[in-house]
Amino acid sequence: MPTTTLILGLGDSGLAMARWLARSGEAVRVWDSRAEPPQAAALAEHVPSATVLSAPLDEAALAGIKRVLKSPGLSPTDDRIAALLAAAHAANFPVQGELDLFVEALDALRIRGARTDALTTAAGVRDFVDTLAWVGSRATWAARFAPLQLPGADPGTCAVGRWSHVSREDVGLIASEYRTLVHRRMEVPMPYTPPAREGGLRGCLLCGVGSIVTTESLAADAWGSLERVQTGTIGGANRASSARGHLCPNCRAAVEQVGAPGMSAVERALMNHLGFKVRYGSTVNFTDESVVHGWAALPPGTPANDEPWAHLDLPRITRALQVEYYAEPIAESAR
Ligand SMILES: [Zn+2]
């Protein structure tokens, strides 16, 4: 299965896209028409594994490619890339830009699942913002203000007046979006505790973590809505009333995958945290189930964890899972 992305243009945004993809473990091939692209040296430094193409583009450049990302400075009608883009469209390759990567990265930042662990630390979030935020804003500008960037744009129908294709409303909108983006770029990621609610516990109901590192603009929905959990369903003793509180993004993703905040969600969130791949629909049989339980099942008054799942014996569970997975590969192949 192709895993390489072809990036067209090696200026600032081409470089940012290449760095982001390489950081996500993807192979990149970068094309630029210039003999000495402005960011060639930076690419060699930050993404030494990247292949650089400079010859005129032909369909061979698409070999083994899963998608094409175009820098905003290149018009889709540019003679040097138009034929390749047409071939990519004909072959149903996605042709995207850095705004698509930006949106994917924002999604990842909100969910912060096992695949995006680069975004679960303050340094990771800061790197994300440094690498992609300004590029996202730039792409927004390019798409809105350069009509030839739009799909199906026809150079023959250009407006008579300069910028007259941009409405006053759009100018106001983009200016305010840009201000918001600039504001986000200035934000410093910091820990946020769960919202204080009457009777609500102050750690993630499942993993018990007491704070999430995120930015101010993402903090409002980082902890999700108030949830109720029957302690008997997450490995504890049954109580007269359910535990109330919030879920961290990782545990919320696990609950969404399995449908309810019970033992399956506990196991899935824990497996993700420990780096074991869990296929959708598969179940885990812990060697000794009594060692695994959600944090909210602990006695009332138990302080929140500094790190997710710190209330469990993680080395012991990891050893049990390794035995389970290596001794019985059937768990992976039975499906
Ligand atoms: Zn959690």
Place of tokens 């179940």: 283
116 has pLDDT over 50: no
Closest CA to 26 of 48, 54, 4, 57: 4
Which pLDDT value is given to residue 58? 85
Report the C-alpha gap between 295 and 305 in whole angstroms: 9
The Å distance, Cα 166 to ligand 1 centre, comes to 45
Report residue 273 as tokens: 């945290």
Which pLDDT value is given to residue 327? 42
- Three-class SS of residue 292? coil
Report the C-alpha gap between 226 and 330 in whole angstroms: 38
Closest CA to 141 of 95, 174, 93: 174
The Å distance, Cα 178 to ligand 1 centre, comes to 33
The Å distance, Cα 201 to ligand 1 centre, comes to 12
Report the C-alpha gap between 148 and 170 in whole angstroms: 17
pLDDT grade for 112, boundaries at 50, 70 and 90:
very low
The Å distance, Cα 330 to ligand 1 centre, comes to 29
The Å distance, Cα 26 to ligand 1 centre, comes to 28
Global confidence as pTM: 0.48
The Å distance, Cα 284 to ligand 1 centre, comes to 18
Please give the average per-residue pLDDT across 106-128, as a whole number. Answer: 56
**Mean pLDDT (the chain, rounded):** 79
User: In terms of C-beta density within 10 A (0-12 exposed, 13-18 middle, 19 or more buried), how is residue 148 classed?
Assistant: middle
Enumerate the β-bridge partners of residue 5. Answer: 28, 67
The Å distance, Cα 247 to ligand 1 centre, comes to 5
232 has pLDDT over 70: yes
The Å distance, Cα 262 to ligand 1 centre, comes to 13
Which pLDDT value is given to residue 129? 65
Which pLDDT value is given to residue 54? 86
The Å distance, Cα 263 to ligand 1 centre, comes to 13
- Three-class SS of residue 335? coil
- Over the stretch 158-204, which tens digit does the pLDDT of each residue have? 666 666 666 677 667 667 767 777 777 777 888 999 998 888 899 99
For helices 134-145 and 168-186, the axis angle rounded to 10 degrees is 170
The Å distance, Cα 110 to ligand 1 centre, comes to 14
Task: Sketch the domain layout of the chain as residue ranges.
Answer: 4-186, 191-333
Phi and psi angles of residue 4, each rounded to the nearest 5 degrees, phi first: -95, 145
Cβ atoms of residues 5 and 22 within 8 Å: no
The Å distance, Cα 207 to ligand 1 centre, comes to 4
Longest dimension (CA), the chain: 75
DSSP state of 106: H
Residue 268 Cα to chain centre, angstroms = 19
The Å distance, Cα 211 to ligand 1 centre, comes to 10
The Å distance, Cα 113 to ligand 1 centre, comes to 11
Least confident of 8-12, 202-206, 261-265, 286-290: 286-290
Please tell me which residue, 202 or 92, carries the higher pLDDT value.
202
Please tell me which residue, 186 or 38, carries the higher pLDDT value.
38
Report residue 17 as tokens: 């896209």
The Å distance, Cα 54 to ligand 1 centre, comes to 47
Which among 123-127, 186-190, 231-235 has the top mean pLDDT? 231-235
Class of domain 4-186: alpha beta
Please give the average per-residue pLDDT across 107-128, as a whole number. Answer: 56
Cβ atoms of residues 198 and 204 within 8 Å: no
Please give the average per-residue pLDDT across 96-122, as a whole number. Answer: 62
